[in-house]
Chain A
Amino acid sequence: MKRYAAMIGTVLALNGGPALAHHSATMFDQTKRITVVGTVKEWQWTNPHAWLQLAVPDANGKLVEQGFEVGSPNTMFRNGFRATSFKPGDTVTVVASPRRDGTVGGLLMQAKTASGVWLQWGAGADAAAAKAAGVPTN
């Protein structure tokens, strides 16, 4: 039975709406984007959200752990993500919606793996697979 990894050095803002039990999109500013390049510490393929933990140097060059929230494995799998997409030590580029409270981390929108493949999630991200399955477009 694996013990759940504790977050180190990151403060999470509380989800604002009680009706949104796990989709805490309100704590991210989706009108903005940041690009974060860091080294993978851990890729947590778990429910309700997968998390990509990166080690990123701050302005003084000190490494800080930053957590990027993604969707659940079910959605992620259909959008091409895998439990093996990111491995500890990989250098990855994350495009994220930053937190409204200004703390590090964010909502992962797109990510470039160590092998240079871009992954993203959202409506239409499974378009290629849906087309292969013969799903009609209306």
Chain B
Amino acid sequence: MIALGLAPAAWAQSAGDDTGGVTKWTPPSADPRDFEGVWLPARSAPPGGGGSGPAGGPPSAAAAPAPALGVRSGRPADAPVEIGLLDQAPAGGGAPPGAAAAAVSGSTLQCTPIDRVGGAGGGMSNLWFQDPHEIVMISEEDQDIARKIYLGLATHPKHLVPQPNGNSIGHWEGNTLVVDTVGFGTPDGKLRDQHRIERFHKAGNYLIDDITTISGGQVQHQTNREMWRSDLHVFENVCEEGYDRYQVVNGQVVNPNTAPGEGQ
């Protein structure tokens, strides 16, 4: 569990901003091949324009009587207009490609990445950084799992071990980064029939990802956008802090450390 105390007095506090109001937004690099920095997956409207209405709301009137304890249907009269969560489904609807294959394995290993095409919501950021050998993208939503795109490899290495993010090799075509990924695996290591080609390019304040996924003979296209957010920082996201909440056997929550058969 992250132990959070008071911030040091030297740092300013600012509601809703992980940088304490210190880091201002500055435009992205003019270099079209420089992706380094924080990008926020843009599954919905940009800041200020989200969901169903204005964000937040003023505190309730101090004189309001204390509400009765219990459960009621509907929403209270003094609740602000809801912003709405980012949706979890792909923009084109339906399950992400490869999800069906993943389901075949039967088991569900927790704290593994979701399919980027289908996910990347919830207001969490991606951090990109690069050198001549590789370009790395850390997805805060995916427990800070790093996608690694190897440059300078003409073909995928032989004998790839299937892994959830597969194996990605990339090369530049002009100012477009073309990424080819194979070797997608289910969380328990079975190979998925999935091949993905992505074409990344910068456009204004956005990083655009045109995605083609071929899976089980079907071809699916999707475009993801990420908005440049140099005011944000990706922070650690250690899913293992709470994984045992999701241990369910026959509908009952089971603590993995005391379940029958689990070692001491």
- Interfacial residues, chain A to chain B (CB-CB below 8 A): 2, 4, 6-7, 10-15, 17-25, 30, 32-39, 44-49, 51, 56-57, 71-75, 77-80, 82-84, 91, 93, 95, 104, 109-110, 112, 115-118, 120-138
Is B92's CB within 8 Å of the partner chain A?
no
Interface residues of chain A: helix, strand, loop or mixed (majority): loop
Q: Considering only CB atoms and an 8 Å cut-off, how many residues of chain B contact the other chain?
A: 96
B102 lies within 8 A of A47 (CB): no
Looking across the interface, which residue of chain A has its beta carbon closest to that of B86? A123
B binding-site residues for A, Cβ under 8 Å: 1-2, 4, 14-19, 21, 23-25, 43-51, 55-57, 59-60, 62, 64, 66-76, 78-80, 82-86, 88, 95-96, 98-99, 102-103, 105, 108-115, 118-119, 121-124, 140, 142-143, 186-187, 205, 229, 231-232, 234-235, 237-246, 248, 251-253, 255
* Chain A residues, CB < 8 A from B15: 80, 128-129
Check A127/B124 contact, CB under 8 A, given A10-B253, A116-B60.
no
Please report whether the interface of chain B is mostly helix, strand, loop or mixed according to DSSP.
Answer: loop
**Please, could you name 18 A-B residue pairs with CB atoms under 8 Å apart, sorted by A?**
A7-B245, A11-B251, A11-B252, A18-B105, A19-B99, A23-B121, A32-B73, A44-B1, A45-B1, A46-B241, A48-B241, A71-B122, A72-B124, A82-B4, A93-B79, A123-B45, A133-B23, A137-B47
The answer to whether A19 and B95 touch across the interface, beta carbons within 8 angstroms, is yes
Given A32-B73, A93-B67, A134-B25: A12 and B44 within 8 A (CB)? no
Give the residue name and chain of the A residue nearest to B4 (CB). A83
Interface centre among A20, A25, A77, A82 (most CB of B within 10 A): A20
